[in-house]
Chains A and B, each alone.
Chain A
Amino acid sequence: GAVVSQHPSWVICKSGTSVKIECRSLDFQATTMFWYRQFPKQSLMLMATSNEGSKATYEQGVEKDKFLINHASLTLSTLTVTSAHPEDSSFYICSAASEGAAGQYFGPGTRLTVT
């Protein structure tokens, strides 16, 4: 139980384009989803918190207009990196949480490379 998927697992895009990453909770309803960014050999940095049907809450220093988050349903959240640049290249990981799931469960991550 408590499985979270992400799609795609890796993506390469050209500078200036936008890319969308999906995060799904497969076997539970996630009232809250989180988006993290991880640089090589570093820890996870929380980017934003999204609750179903509400606007996402962004951490300080994260550009909300660049990283668009939509939590359309209790099982799906999307992160769109707009006008991507090479410095946006990173490993993006989502997690989903709900009281029923008793904790926070992580997706397998998406490797984004911007050329």
Chain B
Amino acid sequence: AQSVTQPDIHITVSEGASLELRCNYSYGATPYLFWYVQSPGQGLQLLLKYFSGDTLVQGIKGFEAEFKRSQSSFNLRKPSVHWSDAAEYFCAVGSFGGYNKLIFGAGTRLAVHP
């Protein structure tokens, strides 16, 4: 079955600390992987995506993610978190570059302490 698992429902970090949000997927075809961020009451903003090539992808706002096929993972990282990073983060997998429907994880809510 196709699925995305985000094991951490809620994470709290201190401002300036590093961050890693976990994402594991189960997908029969070649996965196209995405990370989105959602602020309260807002839509989703694309942080980064992985289609092929270099397994370490850089995104906006200083985020990066690493695709590890052997572990079926696509974890999101940021070396130094800012208070404005507090939001909900969703990992998603799709096919054909994301032109088809996406399967979303349950999301991880990030809180940032000053």
Chain A residues near B (Cβ < 8 Å): 4, 6, 31-32, 34, 41-44, 46, 49, 91, 93, 95, 97-99, 102-109, 111
Partner of A98, one of B90, B99, B107: B99
B44, A93: Cβ atoms closer than 8 Å: yes
B-side interface residues, number (CB < 8 Å): 22
Query: What residues on B are CB-neighbors of A98 within 8 Å?
Result: 99
B28 at interface, CB cutoff 8 A: no
A interface: dominant SS = strand
* Complex contact A105–B46 (CB within 8 A): yes
Chain A residues, CB < 8 A from B104: 43-44
Contacts of B105 in A (CB 8 A): 43
CA distance A104 to B97 in the complex (A): 8
Tell me whether A99 and B41 are in contact (CB under 8 A).
no
Q: Do A108 and B106 touch (CB < 8 A)?
A: no
Q: Are A107 and B107 in contact (CB under 8 A)?
A: no
| Cβ-neighbour of A108 out of B43, B98, B99 (below 8 A) | B43
Q: Which residues from chain B contact A97 at a C-beta distance below 8 Å?
A: 98-100
Contact B42 A42 (CB under 8 A): no
Complex CA–CA separation, A105 to B109 (angstroms): 21
Highest count of chain A CB atoms <10 Å: which of B41, B100, B102: B102
Can you name 11 extra interface pairs (CB under 8 A) apart from A43-B107, A98-B99, A103-B49?
Answer: A4-B43, A6-B43, A42-B106, A42-B107, A43-B106, A44-B44, A49-B100, A97-B98, A97-B99, A104-B94, A107-B43
B106 and A32: CB pair below 8 A? no
